[in-house]
Structure 1
């Protein structure tokens, strides 16, 4: 059985803070502090350039990828880490388009997708020419999959509302129509059980600084189904994706398997921090994590609505009511979402806001207790009931919301 009291002890959690924003940036794992010191002093400091061999830096992207693979239901040697999520979206979408039937012109996504993914798709499709990005409402995706679609590009968990797509059903529908699938797991990896291999997904990408606690800007990951790994075209034909980087050949030969999806020199310090952060997942059962997450989100919704009825508070649940239809987050709408959140943060409850009116709260059983969830609901109700959010200091918008 997963011991969530033990996992909580693995994180630096500031006194007096209830952290409900791990879906944006996970807290600091204590092991990361030790690991980064070792990398700086013993590897970079003492070994210098020899560390590429003596500490096996070159293999770190694949080793960390294998650790993530367990958490997303992928087989060994199918996930590699490095670069940013935007780059990995670009790679996956380009490779998927190259595998799709050549007469297909449509990339299908939905309005719940993270805007950055849509920006990347727009840019790539404009450069390729003759293709269209079609964006529909999340609940309309299944009906929009037809024989004009080359690729479906979907985020499994909606970043605003937490609405959860049925990966297996939509992947099966896409394959039946002859389309290739790309899944963004930014709000799934480490939050809910993911079953890439079981769902027969073609490509997947994800970031590691949210529920995986890899730190700000930590490297992203990409998954390629083994059946595609030897033929997927790496549009970013970078040095580290070459079959023999140190042969220094003039021509590009892609590496075998998932290694071809590497691009540039791996960020060793950041990858080492991520590797240390993943220690917290050793022994964690994803089914038990999901059950604990549902208990926390259900408690929060119940306690908020009990203390702050919609008619009195102006709050409206934006997340699906069914806990099995949402990820590990809860969102409420409020006309004054931004100042409400600033007032909450001032009282030690940290969540975030998504424009124009979403109060967003992430729930991470690795370090969050039910008592903290109840306390957060109490503070939220008080902030709204007393109209504390109307104070002038909560009206100024910072650069990051």
Structure 2
């Protein structure tokens, strides 16, 4: 049984703040500050370049990958961390396409995170005019998995609404049509139970700065099903994915297993912070996290709808069909969110009219939800959002 009081105490949260934006950037674990400082002084500072061997820096990407793998139902040795999520999307889709050389279509949906679509569009333009990125409505994905589709690329949990795709059902349908799957777990890892192995997924990617609390710019991860690893050619053939990086061969030979999906030098300072966050996640059971998440989001929805009639639920009402976030529509949603932030309740805004709230049971509890709704209700009832300062758009929303 997960002790959520204990996990909450392990985060450094500002006094008086209800943080409902861990789905965008998780808060800092208390241990991360000292862990990073120790790494910089005792490892980088004293070991210098010998830290790659003495401190085990080179093995960080695989070690962290296995710890993340536990949360997403991945087989041991099938996940590696490093680079950015956009790079991992490109890498996964490019490698998946090579497994289906006679097909030219990548299928996705218009609820996908735009960056994923940008990366794939750029990749396909490089491959030539015969390739197609086919984008359909989320509810039409299943009907469009046809025998000309090489790769199905989907984000499991919609970043705007929290609507969830059925990974198992869509993967089965894709395989029945000879299609390779790439799942983006940016809003799944640490938010909902994921079973990549049980769903027979092919590739998956994700980030660690959201629910996993790795910090701004924390490294991404990539999963390749063990049955495919030795068949996959890394399209981004980075030197750390080489079979023998320090042989400095001019010809690329992919490393064994998931090691071949490494690209560049791992960000050791950032991975040190992530390791502190993973210590907290090692205390958590995803079934407990999911049950508490549903309880918190149900409480939030019920109270907001009872006190803020101007807001319209944009997330699925059925908890089984949404991730660990709740979104409401409001025409002046940006201004209302800025008013909330000014009062110590931090969520975020997604165009054109989405007020988005994330619920991470590791540091959010029922008292936080009650306080957040009380402040939101006051802002809405008294139109406290209706001031010029709250309507001035900032660079990051």
Post-superposition offset of 1:250? 1.0
- Indicate whether 1:391 and 2:387 are aligned: yes
Question: Aligned equivalents of 1:253 and 1:174: distance in 2?
Answer: 30
What stretches of structure 1 of length at least 5 have no aligned partner? Answer: none
Post-superposition offset of 1:391? 1.3
- Indicate whether 1:230 and 2:230 are aligned: yes
1:356 paired residue number: 352
Post-superposition offset of 1:282? 1.5
Question: Aligned equivalents of 1:200 and 1:374: distance in 2?
Answer: 40
Deviations 1:227-263 (A, max 9, x none): 1111111011111000000111110000011000101
Under a length normalisation based on structure 2, what TM-score does the superposition of the two structures give?
A: 0.99
Deviations 1:175-194 (A, max 9, x none): 00100000000000000000
Question: Aligned equivalents of 1:19 and 1:335: distance in 2?
Answer: 23
Task: Give 3-state SS (helix, strand or coil) of 1:381's partner.
Answer: helix
Question: Aligned equivalents of 1:78 and 1:319: distance in 2?
Answer: 32
1:109 paired residue number: 108
2:250 paired residue number: 250
2:162 paired residue number: 162
Question: Aligned equivalents of 2:59 and 2:315: distance in 1?
Answer: 40
- Indicate whether 1:77 and 2:77 are aligned: yes
Question: Aligned equivalents of 1:212 and 1:3: distance in 2?
Answer: 17
Question: Aligned equivalents of 1:380 and 1:134: distance in 2?
Answer: 40
What stretches of structure 2 of length at least 5 have no aligned partner? Answer: none
Give every structure 1 segment of 4 or more consecutive aligned residues whose post-TM-superposition deviation is greater than 6 Å.
none
Post-superposition offset of 1:377? 1.3
Post-superposition offset of 1:275? 1.0
Question: Aligned residues, how many?
Answer: 396
Post-superposition offset of 1:57? 0.7
Question: Aligned equivalents of 2:365 and 2:257: distance in 1?
Answer: 41
Post-superposition offset of 1:283? 2.6
Instruction: Please provide the CA RMSD for this pair.
Output: 0.7
Post-superposition offset of 1:103? 2.4
Matches within 5 A, 1:77-96: 77-96=77-96
- Indicate whether 1:126 and 2:125 are aligned: yes
Question: Aligned equivalents of 1:66 and 1:282: distance in 2?
Answer: 11
Question: Aligned equivalents of 2:368 and 2:10: distance in 1?
Answer: 18
Task: Give 3-state SS (helix, strand or coil) of 1:388's partner.
Answer: coil
- Indicate whether 1:337 and 2:333 are aligned: yes
Post-superposition offset of 1:327? 0.1
Post-superposition offset of 1:76? 0.8
Under a length normalisation based on structure 1, what TM-score does the superposition of the two structures give?
A: 0.98
Post-superposition offset of 1:308? 1.6
Q: 1:327 aligns with which of 312, 319, 323?
A: 323
- Indicate whether 1:373 and 2:372 are aligned: no
Task: Give 3-state SS (helix, strand or coil) of 2:188's partner.
Answer: coil
- Indicate whether 1:202 and 2:202 are aligned: yes
Question: Aligned equivalents of 2:371 and 2:301: distance in 1?
Answer: 12
1:15 paired residue number: 15
1:68 paired residue number: 68
